[in-house]
A = this chain, B = another copy of it.
Amino acid sequence: MPWTITELADLAEVSRRTVRHYNAIGLLAPPTRRPNGYKLYDDAHLTRLLQIKRLRGLGFTLARITDLQDGAVEPIEAVRSLDAELAGTVERLRTARAELRAILRDGTSTDLPTGFDPTALGDQLSEADRSFVVVMSRVLGPEPRRAYADLLRNPPNDPASREFEHLRPDAGERTRRDLVDRMVPVVRNIHATFPALREMHAGSPHGAGFAKASIESTKRDLYNAAQCHVMRDIAAALA
């Protein structure tokens, strides 16, 4: 009394579909058939099926198991390389878990690029600022990037900068010019402290022109007309 597919599947504790699949791809030898077409499996199928199940449980792919069956790969080599692969996977999962736990601990999803310490300045950055930082971090060359990160760690805590943050879009020319006059020395100071920022577009991975245009359009996206105007005027005054 050989076994039906359900009996075989039950004995091996796999699904019937799994048995059919292994048949279809030739991993399990074709069973004999009853006159009506029903498949009949024997003990050789069972042992083979259990072997496949075990190998799958260890992490081998069906293709790998086929290779092992055909003698196309050395078992020891296959085991060794799978072990190495699993080691890599475990490592990646561990670091991912460490990050997840950090998120749970801090309650925040530290989404700023590395080098821009989020816990130090995360709270004081507006949404617009965060977006801007992200773009800068992707568009700048390494030198200006570092300088910019340093600047963000020690932001100029002056009244003019704070006023700039809340500048109304419809601010008049006098208001703007007054603000520009007070911010120019601040920016000059920044440039003295972080000289790399004077040539902000130098070394950009996609070219200075691309960096400049990207930053320009991001500014227009994130800051209002008056703020953009003020930034242009400051740049002109410093040129």
Chain A residues near B (Cβ < 8 Å): 1-3, 7, 10-12, 42-44, 46-47, 50-51, 54, 57-59, 75-76, 79-80, 82-83, 86-87, 89-90, 93-94, 96-97, 99-101, 103-104, 107, 109, 111, 113, 130-132, 134-135, 138-139, 206, 210, 213-214, 216-218, 221-222
Contact = CB atoms under 8 A, between A and B. Distances in A.
A57 B96 contact: yes
Contact of A111 (B51, B139, B210, B213): B51
Contact of A93 (B7, B42, B59, B206): B59
A11 B204 CA distance: 11
A50 B139 CA distance: 14
B104 A134 contact: no
Report copies per complex: 2
B79 A46 contact: no
B90 A10 contact: no
Nearest to A12: B138
A75 B109 contact: yes
A70 to B, nearest CB: 16
Given A46-B138, A221-B44, A214 B1 contact: yes
Contacts of A113: 50
A59 B96 contact: yes
